[in-house]
Amino acid sequence: MSRYRTPEPTPEERFRPDDGCPIFSPRLEAHLVAVSRGETPERGTFCGHCYTPIARDTSACPHCGESTSARPPVDVVPTPIAAALRVQRSTEGRWVTGFAYLGLLIAMFLPLTLVLGIPAVKDNLILGTAVYAPLLLIGMRVFPAILGGYFGDRKGFAAARTKTRAAWERWLAERDAPAV
Ligand SMILES: [Zn+2]
């Protein structure tokens, strides 16, 4: 089970929605994950709009297109943005894990109904076990992977994306509010 507990979608593989919300670029996600693991320093140079890591002499963000003269780069990713990524990743992880468990249940009960459905097999413990065991082993590899890796991944992404977009809207309202 342990391999379903910490699913880590790689930024490069994931579907990138074109919904007007610029977080998270793959580079920003990779940076924040590395920081959370203590593998890279928190400080650097980041786009002032979408916080994608950029080079110091960059004039326009390669991810969102924001010009560095219009909005100067920052040297650390704001806390609410880093927090939003943690929420996004844990939301995705829960969906993948939940669907993987569902897959395990299917893997257990599907061959059971088969064994119980054939009278000659049902009445013979050894024959029943001989039929059930290999089907169980195959099912435990196949169903959690399909349900967790496919359906859980897609459902989880959609659910997490909704949260991320809401967090981004809140952050924009806070960041870009006119100073009183
Ligand atoms: Zn940007």
Give residue 28 CA to ligand 1 midpoint distance, Å: 10
Give residue 37 CA to ligand 1 midpoint distance, Å: 24
The pTM of this model reads 0.79
Looking at residue 20, its pLDDT comes to: 83
Q: What is the pLDDT of residues 16-60, one digit of tens each?
A: 667 889 999 999 999 999 999 999 999 999 999 999 999 999 999
Distance CA 90, CA 110 (A): 30
Neighbours of 176 (CB within 10 A): 8
Give residue 21 CA to ligand 1 midpoint distance, Å: 11
Give residue 76 CA to ligand 1 midpoint distance, Å: 14
Give residue 10 CA to ligand 1 midpoint distance, Å: 20
Give residue 69 CA to ligand 1 midpoint distance, Å: 12
Structure tokens belonging to residue 158: 């959609």
Give residue 51 CA to ligand 1 midpoint distance, Å: 6
pLDDT, averaged per 10 consecutive residues of the chain (180 residues), comes to 47 62 94 96 97 95 95 97 96 96 97 94 94 96 94 94 96 88
CB 122 within 8 A of CB 116: yes
Query: Any idea what DSSP says for residue 37?
Result: T
Looking at residue 154, its pLDDT comes to: 93
Structure tokens belonging to residue 64: 């969102």
- As a whole number of Å, the end-to-end CA separation of the chain is 53
Looking at residue 1, its pLDDT comes to: 42
Give residue 52 CA to ligand 1 midpoint distance, Å: 5
Looking at residue 19, its pLDDT comes to: 81
User: DSSP letters along 96-121, please?
Assistant: HHHHHHHHHHHHHHHHHHHHHHSHHH
Q: Where are the domains of the chain?
A: 2-9+78-175
